[in-house]
Amino acid sequence: MKWTIAALLIMSVSTLQAEAFREGKKKKTNATSLAAGCAPASSATELNINNVRALIQTGGDLWWDFQNAQYEVPKNSGRTSLFAGSLWLGGKDVSGQLKVAAVRFRSGGTDFWTGPLSTTTSEIDATTCAEYDDHYVTTRSEVAEFVGWVEAGLDDESNGTEKQSEDFPDYVIPRSVLEWPAHGRNYEPYNEDFYLAPFNDRNGDGVYNPFDGDYPGYDLKGEVDCRERIVNIYGDQNLWWVFNDKGNVHTESGAQAIGMEIRAQAFSFATNDEVNSMTFYNYELVNRSSFSLTDTYFGVWVDADLGCSQDDYVGCDVQRGLGYAYNGDEFDEDCNGATGYGDLPPAIGVDFFQGPFQDNDGIDNPGPATNSEILAYDLVKSDGGIPYKGLGVGYGDGIVDNERFGMTRFLYHNNDQSVRGDPNTGVEYYNFLRSIWRDGSHMIYGGTGHNASTAPPFFEADYMFPGETDVIGWGTGGLVQPSWTEVTAGNQPFDRRFMQSAGPFVLEPGAVNNITFGVVWARAKSGNAEASVDAVRKADDKTQALFDNCFRVLNGPDAPDLTAQELDREIVLYIDNKSISNNFNEQYAEVDPSIIPPDSINGRPITPEEQFEYQAYRFQGYQIYQVSDNTVSASDLGDIEKARLIAQVDVKDTVDQIVNFTFDEEIGSTIPEIMVKGANEGIRHSFRVISDQFAEGDNRLVNHKSYYFIAVAYAYNNYVPFNPLSDDSQNEPFLGSRKGATGAVRSVQVIPHDTRFEDGGVLLNSQYGDGVEIIRIEGTGNGGRSLDLKEESIQAILNANGDLVDSLKYESGRGPVDIKVIDPLNVKAGDFSLAFRDTATIGDLTDAYWEIYGEGIDTFTVASDIQVETEHLIPELGISVTIGQALSPGRVGSVNNGFISADFEYEDLTKQFLIGVPDGETQDAQNWVLAGTSEDPNLPEYDDYRETWQDPFTGDDRTYFYDQNEVYENVIEGIVAPFFLTAQSTGHGPMPELPGHGYFFRLLGNLHPGDTSVMNLLHSVDIVLTPDKDKWTRVPVLEMRDTVGESQGNAEKGRLREAYSLDKNGVSATDSTESDDPNSPNYISGRGMSWFPGYAINTETGERLNMAFGEDSYFVKDKGRDMVFNPSSSITEGPARDFRGGGKHFVYVFRNNDVEEDRNAFPLEYNNPGTRMPAYDAGEFIVEKLRQNTQNSVRDVYRAASWCMFPLANPLVPWTTMAEGLVPTTLKM
């Protein structure tokens, strides 16, 4: 396999490469002993993948460059929100000796140095400190690409394919993977821990080796439970480093060293929400000392200079475990060289997600299950629990001794040397971790927090400026206090610093703890400076959800891989998803943890499935852009100067236009942004490009010029449609690609050229989009496509006289499956078979699949859901296959109510002999198709057809109109319609008046109970009129007169005409006897039959169908009494406009329901086939049933009626006699 070969080649160059995997960037040294004396750390790296630019030092300090603030947000704005920050640790050994490690500004020194400590002596030497003075920078996309490269090689080895070289041409393993510091030097004199930075061990041998497929420890598949004591690598960008407090004398705190090894990571995510303005930090702290520390505290110190440093306030939200800073006035001006934020200044917060482990006590300490739940003070205090969910992790989860502290203290201090000023000694650093001032007095509630600022009684407090967030007095011994903020205290804004800490606990030798915190930034849309604190709280809730979800951000569907075929002034683009893509087979579904589902729906508890659907984004479509050059990235796709949309495809459903709503801070209102205008025509994976969207004038592509393209995917969730007055509606139903399967979203370069000069010259015999000839062997349905049978199949069907033919041949590109050329250079000649398979339940399409096989090719199998219309590429054959499973007409959600297309095709365009009675909307005889949503209690016979039922959940009455958009009122200009929708009681309609419209379609007796809308049993049919008598259809002629006493022989409407039958030459029978001679006028019946000049074929099954036509025998003038299909051209007659309807020569097409009635029930078995209309039998079934003339027998006929036409003769084109062929040319519709 290709990547193994690459490994052997690299290792053959130098056997020292393997050592590099164990030691990363470290250099060998000849040191024989370890001695402290490390120099201060000096390396720094920017965390800058999102809207924040944060400088991170390797010496434990954050966000500054030793002179200026370097926490810029928004990035490139020139404004900063934090000046510095660091980790503080402190505790006492068994003899009471204080040990502290901290750093602030290094003005007096530092307590931290880089590198891991010896596992035997807890020491380190200066050389090792210097070797580790660096960040190990990785990006998730870079690592994911490496993993994709490895797995492609493994697949190649298993399947004999070449995917690795095809998908990853010229790939080189990045240094970040090769030099990952997975292992320390676990030998003398270093004795470093063998396992340092987390990694994924593919073969489980315990040794990091990228040539084995090992990689930095990102949880790429979302499989790791972050509640376990395992540290992963997080973020889209990650800085990993290791430092300690034993490298030299503690010159910051002056206290003795602890012996702590700290493995740190700073990380951030590039998103399209609030998380894009956040950064995160994780510290894995390993106690390398040989002694225990009691009364230990860990804390995060923050110098929050929000723009101008001189006008800040601070505070905390106890329930969230959040400390924050905000502007002390309404305008943040420039000061001391820092640029202020101006009006509506932002706020910034630090959420102490998790701290050290609470001391073991053998119980599951109590804690609330939800953010809204608050536990009583006495309950949690006595059992070592927490009252607020934001104050820790692992409480009340049923697991013993996994509890981790959250924020147990919050204290601020000023940039001065007062009693509330900066600490100077180890004791003062330690006391600040415990909410104790420099003079040894405990912080008290109110005022400035010092007892000198307020009068007794004094209440000792753990949390400073909590506002109203400590509702049970958790920080004041259970004594609930009034709101306390810097505003209520009347404090003067100033340069504030604050400390969030966790403890006390016992730190044992070898103990491993984690501290994780996040920096949250937000700016209010309106209001005052404190409104930004509310915005931070809201953003922090999303941050907390992200932490609870193991820092798994919403990725959106991975952008597809984009490839191309270069042709002469033409490009064909192809998109595909690798198996490692989260959108493989277009199955992307991702839960947004920030979407909070309701507890109940319609008064009942929400189910897990409903909760998932409420929170999940699902794949919806793709967008293809032409971009201006290769520097354009996915973040530029909204810039029309850099990117222009050239194609969009999406799932065929009810979702089309998607709008996101973004609050614009400058104008103070929500702005709708159309993210996509969905074509709603199904998914395609190939796209023909012939135009340059950036060209001026002639925009046809030019050969030998470079063009650039980007493809992205998008997903959709609209759990509650946007409401500007609600905070619980969906602002962003559109979610685009954040990355590709193997890295960042990238453009591809394509250069069209003449293929005649390629590989010795290639002459193309096809072009993109050409269809192929399809032969149906088995199966039914149209796949949502317009079907067109080849003439040889039509003739075979007519010759079969109602029997099924062996196969059906369709014209190229007009079959039930869309198979087309997508790569003219790779089309292979041959006969290939496409077969549908079902793995389990018959009729359950969710487990069905299809495959193509044939001579000279491997079987190509597609296991995706065939219910979803998707184009699948088969590059080996140069074709694509699109399988459609369109919903039937009448079904809720069916596109265009299941209608595909209809048209007239005349063989001789100069003889367009047929027109018709178009459906009207007025309440008269011309309103013969009752589609739409009209209702009139005074004229209910004209009400459009509908179904009413009671909602089982709400009890409300619901109404469903069968064709509410009036699709079927406009088929061929309104002269053809489904029989099911035709008028019954209006007079002059084609439907006989029996007990109600639904009666015809009710299945009685031992059949499936209830009403069946035969709308969903409509088929694709060809109706052909032709002068070729060999193709004519023997048909019953139906009486259309509404009044029995006015019809010939008093025949009832919808029954056989009371007249002698005719033969094909118009010769009448002279008696009522029956004959089996097709040339006899008595064929099938001596009365009530004639010939229709043409035929009807079900193009989905290849069956010839029974037909009938009508006559109103009262309309003699309009040829309603001659048993000939010869409608007049008159719709009405005379001044009163009496309705004539051309003599009402309605044409009926009947489906074969002998085997197909209720086709969606399985198995297909019926116990009374005598009531079923067969395929073409020369009208024998219809004659027999109408002669019986019972309600049930008449129902058996009309239940099978599928299509109905209301024809008229074109007065400008003469018809002939039956003997001469009746119609002047062939018409196909």
Question: pLDDT by residue (tens digit) across 447-482?
Answer: 999 988 777 889 999 999 999 999 999 999 999 999
CA pair distance 1229, 899, nearest whole angstrom: 14
Question: Would the pTM of this model clear 0.75, i.e. be above it?
Answer: no
For residue 1013, name the pLDDT band (cuts at 50, 70, 90): very low
pLDDT, tens digit, 9 for 90 and up, residues 1193-1228: 998 899 889 999 999 999 999 999 999 999 999 999
Over residues 611-633, the mean pLDDT reads: 91
What percent of the chain has pLDDT above 70?
A: 90
Of the two residues 109 and 648, the one the predictor is more confident about is: 648
Q: How far apart are CA 767 and CA 897, in angstroms?
A: 33
Report the candidate in 172, 191, 448, 410 with the shortest Cα–Cα distance to residue 304: 410
Distances (CA, A) of 99 to 294, 297, 298: 10, 11, 12
Residue of 771, 1154, 1166, 1200 lying closest to 1021 (CA atoms): 1200
Q: In whole angstroms, what is the distance from residue 1063 CA to residue 1084 CA?
A: 11
Residue-wise pLDDT for 835-888, tens only, equals 887 766 665 666 677 888 887 777 777 766 666 678 888 888 888 888 877 777
Q: What is the mean pLDDT of the chain?
A: 86
Question: Tokens representing 213?
Answer: 């497929």
Beta bridge partners of 499: 301, 411
* pLDDT tens per residue, range 1149-1162: 999 887 654 444 43
pLDDT of amino acid 852: 86
CA atoms within 13 A on the CB side of 974: 13
CB contact at 8 A, 878 and 1192? no
Torsion of CA 925, 930, 932, 933, to 10 degrees: 90
pLDDT in tens, 533-591: 999 998 888 888 788 877 777 889 999 999 999 888 999 999 999 877 889 889 999 98
Q: Report the pLDDT value the prediction gives residue 758, as an integer from 0 to 100.
A: 57
Q: Residue 1197's pLDDT is what?
A: 92
Can you spell out the DSSP letters for 877-933? TTEEEEE--PPPTTSTT-GGGG------EESSTT---EEE----SSSSTT--B--SS
Distance between CA atoms of 539 and 522, rounded to whole angstroms? 7
Backbone φ, ψ for residue 430 (5° rounding): -65, -40
Judged by DSSP in three states, 1097 sits in strand
- Predicted local confidence at residue 1229, as pLDDT: 92
Between CA 77 and CA 665 the distance in angstroms is 15
Report cis status (omega within 30 of 0) of the bond before 504: yes
For residue 288, CA distances in Å to 117, 187, 249 come to 7, 16, 17
Rg over CA atoms, the chain:
40
Instruction: Report the greatest alpha carbon distance in the chain.
Output: 128
Q: How far apart are CA 952 and CA 161, in angstroms?
A: 54
Is residue 363 very low, low, confident or very high in pLDDT (cuts 50, 70, 90)?
very high
* Strand positions, DSSP E, 568-638: 570-576, 589-591, 600-601, 604-605, 616-627
**Residues 1038-1058: tens digit of each pLDDT:** 999 999 999 999 999 999 999
Written as six digits, the tokens of 712 are: 């992205």
- Note the pLDDT tens digit of each residue in 140-152: 989 988 998 999 8
Q: Which of 267, 336, 262, 457 is nearest to 67 (CA)?
A: 336
1048 DSSP 8-state letter: G
Nearest 5°: the CA angle 781, 786, 787 is 65
CA dist 166 and 822 (Å) reads 18
Q: 578: which 2 tokens?
A: 């690798």
Which single residue is written with the structure tokens 């002068």? Answer: 1027
> What DSSP string runs through 222-253?
S---TTSS---B-SSEEEEEEEES-SS--TTT
Q: Say what the pLDDT of residue 28 is.
A: 36
Query: b vs e for 679-712, b when ≥16 Cβ sit within 10 Å of the residue's Cβ?
Result: ebebbbbbbebeebbbeeeeeebeeeeebbbbbb
**Which residues lie below 8 Å from residue 585, measured CB to CB, with a gap of 6+?**
577, 863, 864
Residue range 56-87, pLDDT digits in tens: 999 999 999 999 999 999 888 899 999 999 99
Instruction: Answer yes or no: is pLDDT of 46 > 50.
Output: yes
* Range 258-280 burial, b when 16+ CB lie within 10 A, else e: bbbbbbbbbbbbbbbbbbbbbbb
Write out the two tokens for 1211. Answer: 């007065």
pLDDT at 372: 82
For β-strands 53-57 and 80-82, DSSP reports them as unpaired
Q: What pLDDT is stored for residue 856 in this prediction?
A: 72
Q: Which of 550, 70, 515, 71 is nearest to 300 (CA)?
A: 515
When pLDDT is averaged across residues 799-824 and rounded to a whole number, the result is: 88
Q: In this predicted model, which residue has the larger pLDDT, 895 or 1213?
A: 1213
**Among 717-731, 818-832, 971-985, 987-1001, which range has the highest average pLDDT?**
971-985
What pLDDT, on a 0 to 100 scale, did the predictor assign at position 771?
84
Cα–Cα distance for residue pair 105/415, rounded to 1 Å: 12
Average pLDDT of the residues in 777-786: 84
Predicted confidence (pLDDT) per residue in 132-190, tens digit: 999 999 999 899 889 989 998 998 898 888 888 887 888 999 999 999 999 999 999 99
Give the span between the Cα atoms of 368 and 397, in whole angstroms: 9
Q: What is the pLDDT of residue 13?
A: 28
Q: How does pLDDT run across 713-752, given as a tens digit for each residue?
A: 999 999 888 887 776 778 899 999 987 876 667 889 999 9
Which of 85, 43, 113 minimizes the C-alpha distance to 262?
113
486-539 pLDDT, tens digit per residue, is 999 999 999 989 999 999 999 999 999 988 999 999 988 788 888 899 999 988
Give the number of C-alpha atoms closer than 13 A to the C-alpha of residue 414, restricted to the C-beta side.
Answer: 15
Of 602 and 241, the structure prediction assigns the larger pLDDT to 241
The Cα–Cα gap between 140 and 146 comes to 10
Predicted pLDDT at 1164:
43
Beta-strand ranges (E) seen in 704-776 are 707-716, 734-736, 748-750, 774-776
* Band of pLDDT at residue 954, cut at 50, 70 and 90: low
Say if residue 15's pLDDT is above 60: no
In this structure, are residues 501 and 409 in contact, taking their beta carbons and an 8 Å threshold?
yes
Place of tokens 């042709």: 567
Q: Cβ(817)–Cβ(784) under 8 Å? A: no
Q: If pLDDT is split at 50, 70 and 90, which confidence band does 1163 have?
A: very low
